[in-house]
A and B are shown apart, each in its own frame.
Chain A
Amino acid sequence: MSLRIVVCVKYVPDATGDRRFADDNTTDRDSVDGLLSELDEYGVEQALKIAEASGDAEVTVLTVGPDDAKDALRKALSMGADKAVHVNDDDIHGTDVIGTSAILAKAIEKTGFDLVVCGMASTDGTMGVIPALLSERLGVPQVTLLSEVGVEGGTVKGRRDGDAATELLEASLPAVVSVTDQSGEARYPSFKGIMAAKKKPVESLDLDDLGIEADEVGLAGAWTAVDSATARPARTAGTIVKDEGEGGKQLAEFLASQKFI
């Protein structure tokens, strides 16, 4: 049977745009342009490479997100993924990472999988914990933060480059992996890919389809709550310390006044 790969891709606000919070302190996803998280492009790329090497694989891209998140799916499909699953439900608004992982896990189970591929972190939430949560919820091994990954037979193998050591890791399938931005540049879609993507299947699912109650997720079901959010103050000119014999002391005083030391 062919290798079933599910890539989790997140639709995130464009980091070059003006990112804001909405009135309920959730990320404002309506008034800003969004796109497929750049870090998830690496996941799509590695999934496609694994699929190409296997010769008999099917790559499904999965997102949990609002209507516009279909743009992220279309992008991944035009890069070469075979089909897409879009979980979209008004009740998902404000879901925290615990809830998001529950939704993703149910959707992955429903789709069927041998390998789940995630990015190293989203570019908006940047918690980097979804892969671990998925591994727990799906009851399969996790091999995370890989800069190199491949599948041989029923085993996924990879390399994790740490500060102190390079680890060679492997796990038996089914498994969850996450890949870093060092895993190899993602391909650009081609115009032919864009045209082909229009004909690829996109399955839409809501919470009902996944057997999830509305109060398990959303703002109400979240374990975390954001009470207030303040924009970072504009950068000021800074303080220049001229060394006229007292430089070291002045530096130390400055750092102490900013509570760094």
Chain B
Amino acid sequence: MSQPIRPLKSMDRQLPSEEAADLLALTRELVERELAPRAAEEEAEGRFPREAMRLLGRSGLLGLPYPEEYGGGEQPYEVYLQVLEELAAGRLTVGMGVSVHTLACHALATFGSERQKQQWLPELLGGELLGAYCLSEPQSGSDAAALTTRAVREGGDGDDAHYSVTGTKAWITHGGVADFYSTMVRTGGPGPTGISVLLVPADTPGVAADAPERKMGLKGSPTAQVRFEAARVPAERLIGAEGQGFSIALSALDSGRLGIAACAVGVARAALDYAVEYARTRTQFGRPIAEFQGLSFMLADMATAVEAGRALYLSAARRRDAGLAFGKEAAMAKLFCTDAAMRVTTDAVQVLGGYGYTADHPVERYMREAKVLQILEGTNQIQRVVIGRKLTGG
């Protein structure tokens, strides 16, 4: 029954600064001491580690890519994503949680007015508050621009100006535990140009989350429908202009996909490390199974996939950090890294044989977790649609 709790192998990363190296060291320490030891148990029980998220917040890990002047860490994506990889290797619920929180802050940080940023951004980045990103709906997933949650402007142009929001958002990560919802709503006609973004406090009357979905993996991370019933949201909480919402949502997703890619590499790496250690110690036919070429070739392919995935997300991140277009590269990284994670985690189960198929070892959990990464923030089919369009200019 015993599940060896071995720290992940420490990695020799190329980092741009000493402070980045210290940040990664802090991340590993938090993973080893606070996240990894409780991951298996809490995932099995479906418990969300709200306290651990607060600890990350106090440590400054919930605002890493945003400007220092609003309380962020002002780190390049090259560094922020490697932090996500470490967190996800320790526990995907947390790595993805940080990625989703960062996604939820994106609209305000990138498209908010100076006044809005000064007013709300510090508390969003400060670590006590947790965010969610509400785009999907029961009837609009891949076709996100078909969303129907309606926001009607009322109350004139004075202090009473507000939106009355009605509709249902689906699949919302942190639904029910978040403190604010970055919400895409329809303020105009059909199609992408009728969409706007509202930053909605979770305690707004008329906003309520359903019970979380019962998922095959990532059970510690609540995914829930969030219902809006004539919820009154002050007009000053409109981010950007009316009708700009869909392009804001897509711009957030470009960055978010990089986060998912890094999380996928983290999960794959955790599975690889575990499989390598197992293969070195498990003996059959009188020797460690790692000595069978058929098995070591599998490990070699897994390790190659992890390295290639990291190289791909980092190269997309460096384009972003340099101010270059990176949407296509982000889609490629999300596609490649999550497919790689699915393969690597599946093979990790194979390396452990029957033991891999039990909950006594973490690899079957990694396999269940990897699956969702091929689906969320745009399915991998949709990533191919994005890449194909960019290639042919369609």
When C-beta atoms are compared, the residue in chain B nearest to A78 turns out to be B22
The yes or no answer to A191 lying at the interface (CB within 8 A) is: yes
Interface stretch among A42-50, A94-102, A130-138, A192-200? A192-200
Contact, CB under 8 Å: B59 / A33: no
The yes or no answer to A16 lying at the interface (CB within 8 A) is: yes
Contact, CB under 8 Å: A191 / B18: no
What is the minimal beta-carbon distance from B25 to any residue of chain A, in angstroms?
8
Chain B residue contacts of A74, Cβ below 8 A: 22
Chain B residue contacts of A195, Cβ below 8 A: 19
Indicate with 1 or 0, residue by residue over A160-194, a CB within 8 angstroms of chain B CB atoms: 00000000000000000000000000001111101
A194 and B58 contact, Cβ closer than 8 Å, known pairs A16-B7, A188-B30: no
**Which residues B12-69 have CB closer than 8 A to chain A?**
18-19, 22-23, 26, 29-30, 55, 58-61, 64
Contact, CB under 8 Å: B26 / A194: yes
Complexed CA–CA distance, A121 and B145 (Å):
62
A189 and B10 contact, Cβ closer than 8 Å, known pairs A194-B19, A198-B18, A198-B19: no
The yes or no answer to B201 lying at the interface (CB within 8 A) is: no
Contact, CB under 8 Å: A189 / B59: yes
Contact, CB under 8 Å: A191 / B10: no
Contact of A194 among B7, B10, B23, B55 (CB under 8 A): B23
Complexed CA–CA distance, A192 and B64 (Å):
11
When C-beta atoms are compared, the residue in chain A nearest to B6 turns out to be A16
Contact of A191 among B7, B29, B59 (CB under 8 A): B59
The yes or no answer to B206 lying at the interface (CB within 8 A) is: no
Contact, CB under 8 Å: A190 / B58: yes
What is the minimal beta-carbon distance from A252 to any residue of chain B, in angstroms?
31
What is the minimal beta-carbon distance from A31 to any residue of chain B, in angstroms?
14
Complexed CA–CA distance, A33 and B23 (Å):
17
What is the minimal beta-carbon distance from A72 to any residue of chain B, in angstroms?
12
A191 and B61 contact, Cβ closer than 8 Å, known pairs A74-B22, A78-B22, A198-B18: yes
What is the minimal beta-carbon distance from A254 to any residue of chain B, in angstroms?
26
What is the minimal beta-carbon distance from A184 to any residue of chain B, in angstroms?
15
What is the size, in residues, of chain A's interface with B at 8 Å between Cβ atoms?
13
Contact, CB under 8 Å: A191 / B55: no
Chain B residue contacts of A191, Cβ below 8 A: 23, 26, 59-61, 64, 73
Complexed CA–CA distance, A207 and B22 (Å):
29
Complexed CA–CA distance, A177 and B73 (Å):
37
**Which residues A7-43 have CB closer than 8 A to chain B?**
16, 33
Contact, CB under 8 Å: A188 / B29: yes
What is the minimal beta-carbon distance from B68 to any residue of chain A, in angstroms?
9
Contact, CB under 8 Å: B26 / A188: yes
Complexed CA–CA distance, A194 and B60 (Å):
10
User: Among the interface residues B22, B55, B58, which one has the most CB atoms of the partner chain A within 10 A?
Assistant: B22
What is the minimal beta-carbon distance from B337 to any residue of chain A, in angstroms?
25
Complexed CA–CA distance, A16 and B8 (Å):
11
What is the minimal beta-carbon distance from B64 to any residue of chain A, in angstroms?
7
When C-beta atoms are compared, the residue in chain B nearest to A191 turns out to be B60
What is the minimal beta-carbon distance from B65 to any residue of chain A, in angstroms?
12
User: Among the interface residues A74, A192, A197, which one has the most CB atoms of the partner chain B within 10 A?
Assistant: A192
Chain B residue contacts of A33, Cβ below 8 A: 10
A190 and B59 contact, Cβ closer than 8 Å, known pairs A16-B7, A33-B10: yes
What is the minimal beta-carbon distance from B54 to any residue of chain A, in angstroms?
12
Chain A residue contacts of B23, Cβ below 8 A: 191, 194
When C-beta atoms are compared, the residue in chain B nearest to A185 turns out to be B33
Chain A residue contacts of B73, Cβ below 8 A: 191
Chain B residue contacts of A78, Cβ below 8 A: 22, 26
When C-beta atoms are compared, the residue in chain A nearest to B22 turns out to be A194
Complexed CA–CA distance, A198 and B22 (Å):
10
Contact of A190 among B10, B18, B19, B60 (CB under 8 A): B60
Chain A residue contacts of B58, Cβ below 8 A: 188, 190
Complexed CA–CA distance, A197 and B60 (Å):
15
Complexed CA–CA distance, A192 and B62 (Å):
12
Complexed CA–CA distance, A74 and B23 (Å):
12
Complexed CA–CA distance, A198 and B17 (Å):
11
Chain B residue contacts of A16, Cβ below 8 A: 7
When C-beta atoms are compared, the residue in chain A nearest to B34 turns out to be A188
Chain A residues proximal to chain B, CB less than 8 Å: 16, 33, 74, 78, 188-192, 194-195, 197-198
A sample of 9 more A-B contacts (CB under 8 A), given A33-B10, A191-B64, is A188-B59, A189-B26, A189-B59, A191-B26, A191-B61, A192-B60, A194-B19, A197-B22, A198-B18
Chain B residues proximal to chain A, CB less than 8 Å: 7, 10, 18-19, 22-23, 26, 29-30, 55, 58-61, 64, 73
The 8 closest A-B pairs by CB, nearest first: A191-B60, A194-B22, A190-B60, A190-B59, A191-B73, A192-B60, A188-B59, A194-B19
The 27 sampled A-B contact pairs (Cβ below 8 Å) are A16-B7, A33-B10, A74-B22, A78-B22, A188-B26, A188-B29, A188-B30, A188-B55, A188-B58, A189-B22, A189-B26, A189-B59, A190-B58, A190-B59, A191-B23, A191-B26, A191-B60, A191-B61, A191-B64, A191-B73, A192-B60, A194-B23, A194-B26, A195-B19, A197-B22, A198-B18, A198-B19
